[in-house]
Amino acid sequence: MEAALKRYFGYTGFRPYQGEIIQKVLEGRDCLVVMATGSGKSICYQIPPLVAKKTAVVVSPLLSLMQDQVMSLKQHGVRSDYLGSTQMNTSVSSEAEKGMFDVLYMTPEKAISLPSRFWSNLQASGICLLAIDEAHCISEWGHDFRPEYKQLHSLRDHLVGVPFVALTATATERVRGDIATSLNLSNPHIAIGSFDRPNLFYGVKSCNRSVSFISELVKEVSKNCTVGGSTIIYCTTIKDTEQVHEAMVSAGIKANIYHGRMGSKAREDSHRSFVRDEVFVMVATIAFGMGIDKPDVRCVIHYGCPKSLESYYQESGRCGRDGLPSVCWLYYQRSDFTKGDFYCSEATNPTQRKAIMDSFMAAQKYCLHTACRRKVLLQYFGQESTTDCGNCDNCTATKNERDLSKESFLLLSCIKSCGGRWGLNMPVDVLRGSRAKKIVEHNYDKLPMHARGKDYPPNWWKALGGLLLAHGYLKETISDTFRLLSVSPQGVKFLSGTGTPLVLQLTAEMIEQEEHGSSEHKEGALNPVATVESEKSSEEELKLYQMLLNVRMKLAHDIGTAPYAICGDQTLRHFAKIRPSTGARLANIDGVNQHFVTRYGAIFIQNITQFSKELSLQMDDSSGVEDMMSVSKPVNNNLPRNLGDAKFTSWELWQKSGYSFKKIAHFRRAVAIKEQTVISYILDAARDGCEMNWNRFCEETGLTHEIASQIRLAIAKVGSRDKLKPIKEELPENVTYEMIKIFLAIDDVGASEKTFGNVSADKVPASTTESPKSSSHGSEAVKNGNQGDDVIMAGAFDSSPSTKRSQAHGTLASVSNEPVKKLQKIDEQGMESFAAIAATEEAIVELAASCNGVSLEDAVKHFSGSKRESVIEMLENLECNFVVYRKKDCYMVL
């Protein structure tokens, strides 16, 4: 399990609950998973198929979400696709039946409409789980009820014995019960994680929707953009969305808009360019909700009170999913609180209506609270928390507590005297001394508290009303479409004088009202920007991080994917901090998976090296990072370790003696071998650690910088480097199979990008007599499956491995007419040190496997016949090739 986590996702440890859930699923047990947004639920259904080598089917409510997940998984080397109404590729379904995907996503509509033949075929091919993502959609008590979800239980009949895994971030106890019942979960393993998102700062402010407020918002958001963070601004109406978007764009901020009245193509484009960091801000209605999987959103702003606390938690939960510090601000206007009825119009029965209203009131209370915001949120989801978080506006604000007993007494008694038949406006007007027609008609101008509240502006009183509601002194009831306020039993107790003095924390709005007599927003008071902590990075390291963000951006743009799908921000931060100089060092960084190393490793190492030089930063600084092992820089003795003799000699002739491929192909043979075989021998030697003059190799094989770039793009497009044919099909005719193989070998050994740099397209092979470019050998070699096994090596190549190298030297030197100047340079000492190596990569892997991981010191001790540097080098090579990975100080086998 852990090996698959490192190989495909680059992480060395599971987060809480992930390991146990995966284990249960692999044992065939149903699971109900309720874990916070961004806590890593997806891994729970993505790892089992990679371990069990069977397909996982995932039911997901949104196409955009599925497309993002598939894009990301492909970048991790996981075979994945989706079935839904927008899927144009008709072969996905038949490939899926044959078990050709690790993870197959589908919409609920699709899942219930697929014929039983599909399911029986898939079951025959192997299916390890059916996951129901966003499972709260099953429940009418959930905030996103979807009727099709209710029919998913019918899949049980098709998938006998297949574990069902229901996952959600927001489920009250009642919703959990609904999910389990509706899906017929049998004795499910229930995992309920914390709802807390400690990296998120929560803040709330009252606002007006004035032009000056919006321009202030624009200013603050633009600050966030300059530090490279993405922002989502959720508006409650399309009109607000358009207004805020227009303000952002006119201020020169790259912002997109997204709402339900846009066509699906426009929405898709808008979503895509946001996910790909082509714009930094998305101004959207909640139509841009559940499906947002971008991990590096640094700021989520709600411009208007959300329709429920669940949806606020979900939407704000789109922020900081990569675990880095991020902020969530909610700006509300008092008039937002009148929208409950509008939301209730969606209800089809009284139960739903009550559920919608309750959730809306909870959101309203959240806005008005002066206690720790996190506590309020967690309590709503049934999680008790005793300490204040210190990471929300209420915790960080200077305490502004005051005895508000007198004012509260006035307001509560006024509400009581008005008979609990009104909202807040009427009693506040009475307190303020209004003689409006309605007040006079009801004789409220005769009440003793009439005109007793002139010291404070109306909004101050309304803010106090909100506070009293949030603290339980008032209660709100719905009558028809009206929301009525009355005094609660706790309020009655206070009015009777038996309660304690009412010391309350003043809201920001009350303070503003006292100071300025209005909620007109003060310059500089708005502060939505995530102060993403630089994590003790130096200025140069931050510059390097910015440079690497650009490298990732360009790369993503070239291959048509989202930057985050290549690697996360956190991983780039580690690169900037550690500055790995080798593939092995890169491979050991958290978040780096096997595909990343093979596809992008060389590019990043080259850029890190170059930028670090420019910024005068040392490479390989592991001091500040935990979990990094202090391995001294390996000494590469450039000697092969476990090569067969034919390969070794081919390499020697080429690298040391300067022979051409053609000469080597004919060298001392009755029947010449193919040049392509020689090339593949030399590549194997390179993979085995032999020193290589890559510039010469590329020059002789015609692999130019341009061709290398084309191949890299093709691999990225195909999403896998396992099969050459699909890669070849993406490339122009002139790019041969041989070139692809060479590219992969160079990539495997992590040679520098500069390797290709010396040769340009118009300056191709000089020294090769027959370059692969001018022949069809490359494709022939592949067609014949020619990896060199079909070659009969004669003469010097057929002696026993231990003796033949020295024989080969002697023979070559004496028999060949070619100048073999450099050959003798492999002197006795070199051969001795090679012979003395007791550790081989296989032996190291065996040792690590037998004791479930081995430390470097133990490995060095175990292979006492080997030099420490050799063991380090082999370990690094294994690590770079993802044969082993490091967890703390231990090398584990993948």
Ligand X SMILES: Nc1ncnc2c1ncn2[C@@H]1O[C@H](COP(=O)(O)OP(=O)(O)OP(=O)(O)O)[C@@H](O)[C@H]1O
101 interacts with ligand X by CB under 6 A: no
Residues within window 268-307 making contact with ligand X, judged by CB under 6 A: 293, 295
> Helices 675-687 and 737-748 sit at what angle, rounded to 10 degrees?
10
How far, in Å, are 23, 54, 172 from residue 47 at the CA level? 10, 11, 27
Q: Is 796 in contact with 814 (CB distance < 8 Å)?
A: no
Query: Exposed, middle or buried, 143 (CB in 10 Å: 0-12/13-18/19+)?
Result: buried
Work out how close the CB of 472 gets to ligand X at its nearest, in angstroms, rounded to a whole number.
31
Q: Which of 14, 45, 337, 667 binds ligand X (CB under 6 A)?
A: 14
41 vs 271 by CB, closer to ligand X: 41
In angstroms, the CA 276 to CA 571 distance is: 17
The phi-psi region of residue 800 (left if phi > 0; otherwise alpha if psi is between -120 and 50; otherwise beta) is beta
39 vs 594 by CB, closer to ligand X: 39
Work out how close the CB of 568 gets to ligand X at its nearest, in angstroms, rounded to a whole number.
6
How far, in Å, are 325, 686, 694, 709, 710 from residue 754 at the CA level? 37, 17, 9, 12, 15
Q: Is 21 in contact with 31 (CB distance < 8 Å)?
A: yes
Work out how close the CB of 318 gets to ligand X at its nearest, in angstroms, rounded to a whole number.
7
87 interacts with ligand X by CB under 6 A: no
182 interacts with ligand X by CB under 6 A: no
Work out how close the CB of 126 gets to ligand X at its nearest, in angstroms, rounded to a whole number.
24
Tokens of 621: 């600084």
Residues within window 625-644 making contact with ligand X, judged by CB under 6 A: none
What contacts 7, CB < 8 A, 6 or more positions away?
50, 77, 593, 594, 882, 885, 894
* Binding range to ligand X, per CB under 6 A, among 31-39, 280-288, 406-414, 660-668: 31-39
142 vs 750 by CB, closer to ligand X: 142
Work out how close the CB of 245 gets to ligand X at its nearest, in angstroms, rounded to a whole number.
24
Q: Which of 4, 7, 42, 694 binds ligand X (CB under 6 A)?
A: 42
Work out how close the CB of 592 gets to ligand X at its nearest, in angstroms, rounded to a whole number.
12
Work out how close the CB of 754 gets to ligand X at its nearest, in angstroms, rounded to a whole number.
32
How far, in Å, are 589, 593, 629 from residue 626 at the CA level? 10, 18, 8
170 vs 650 by CB, closer to ligand X: 170
**Residue 271: φ, ψ to 5°:** -60, -50
What contacts 295, CB < 8 A, 6 or more positions away?
38, 321, 322, 564, 568, 569
Q: Is 63 in contact with 218 (CB distance < 8 Å)?
A: no
Q: Which of 21, 31, 35, 127 binds ligand X (CB under 6 A)?
A: 35
**Residue 283: φ, ψ to 5°:** -105, 120
Q: Which residue has the tokens 């009202």?
A: 513
User: Which helix (DSSP H) or strand (DSSP E) does residue 132 occupy?
Assistant: strand 127-132
Residues within window 312-351 making contact with ligand X, judged by CB under 6 A: 317, 321-322
Q: Which of 4, 22, 43, 428 binds ligand X (CB under 6 A)?
A: 43
Total residues at the site for ligand X (CB under 6 A)? 19
Q: Which of 32, 40, 76, 171 binds ligand X (CB under 6 A)?
A: 40
* HSE of 45, CA atoms in CB hemisphere, 13 A: 31
207 vs 567 by CB, closer to ligand X: 567
Q: Which of 11, 118, 409, 834 binds ligand X (CB under 6 A)?
A: 11
Q: Is 83 in contact with 308 (CB distance < 8 Å)?
A: no
Q: Which residue has the tokens 């007198």?
A: 406
* Binding range to ligand X, per CB under 6 A, among 34-42, 330-338, 651-659, 661-669: 34-42
In angstroms, the CA 346 to CA 353 distance is: 8
488 interacts with ligand X by CB under 6 A: no
Work out how close the CB of 595 gets to ligand X at its nearest, in angstroms, rounded to a whole number.
14
- The alpha carbon dihedral of 844, 848, 853, 859 has a sign of negative
Work out how close the CB of 567 gets to ligand X at its nearest, in angstroms, rounded to a whole number.
10
**Strand, helix or coil for residue 505:** strand
Work out how close the CB of 435 gets to ligand X at its nearest, in angstroms, rounded to a whole number.
53
Amino acid at 36: A
* Binding range to ligand X, per CB under 6 A, among 35-43, 116-124, 400-408, 678-686: 35-43
Q: Which of 21, 39, 567, 739 binds ligand X (CB under 6 A)?
A: 39
Work out how close the CB of 294 gets to ligand X at its nearest, in angstroms, rounded to a whole number.
9
Q: Is 237 in contact with 343 (CB distance < 8 Å)?
A: no
Tokens of 157: 């009949």
Work out how close the CB of 845 gets to ligand X at its nearest, in angstroms, rounded to a whole number.
24
755 interacts with ligand X by CB under 6 A: no
3-state DSSP of 276-296: CCCCCEEEECCCCCCCCCCCC
- Residue among 81, 5, 52 nearest 162 (CA): 52
562 vs 714 by CB, closer to ligand X: 562
Residues within window 558-577 making contact with ligand X, judged by CB under 6 A: 568
18 vs 660 by CB, closer to ligand X: 18
Helices (H) and strands (E) in the chain, counts: 42, 20
38 vs 457 by CB, closer to ligand X: 38
* Binding range to ligand X, per CB under 6 A, among 36-44, 270-278, 495-503, 719-727: 36-44
35 vs 467 by CB, closer to ligand X: 35
Work out how close the CB of 143 gets to ligand X at its nearest, in angstroms, rounded to a whole number.
14
42 vs 199 by CB, closer to ligand X: 42
Q: Is 231 in contact with 224 (CB distance < 8 Å)?
A: yes
* Binding range to ligand X, per CB under 6 A, among 11-19, 145-153, 183-191, 253-261: 11-19
**Strand, helix or coil for residue 421:** coil
Work out how close the CB of 12 gets to ligand X at its nearest, in angstroms, rounded to a whole number.
8
User: Which helix (DSSP H) or strand (DSSP E) does residue 868 occupy?
Assistant: helix 868-880
**Residue 147: φ, ψ to 5°:** -55, -35
Work out how close the CB of 176 gets to ligand X at its nearest, in angstroms, rounded to a whole number.
15
β 884-887/890-893 pair status: antiparallel
267 interacts with ligand X by CB under 6 A: no
**Number of Cβ within a 10 Å radius of residue 853:** 18
Work out how close the CB of 293 gets to ligand X at its nearest, in angstroms, rounded to a whole number.
6
Q: Is 85 in contact with 113 (CB distance < 8 Å)?
A: no
Residues within window 117-176 making contact with ligand X, judged by CB under 6 A: 169
75 interacts with ligand X by CB under 6 A: no
13 vs 810 by CB, closer to ligand X: 13
Tokens of 162: 């297949």
61 interacts with ligand X by CB under 6 A: no
Q: Which residue has the tokens 């989502």?
A: 232
Work out how close the CB of 456 gets to ligand X at its nearest, in angstroms, rounded to a whole number.
42
In angstroms, the CA 66 to CA 248 distance is: 29
189 vs 641 by CB, closer to ligand X: 189
34 vs 643 by CB, closer to ligand X: 34
What contacts 71, CB < 8 A, 6 or more positions away?
561, 562, 565
43 vs 793 by CB, closer to ligand X: 43
364 vs 571 by CB, closer to ligand X: 571
68 vs 429 by CB, closer to ligand X: 68
* Binding range to ligand X, per CB under 6 A, among 40-48, 374-382, 544-552, 728-736: 40-48
Work out how close the CB of 698 gets to ligand X at its nearest, in angstroms, rounded to a whole number.
36
Residues of the shown chain interacting with ligand X in the complex, contacts defined by CB under 6 A? 11, 14-15, 18, 35, 37-43, 169, 293, 295, 317, 321-322, 568
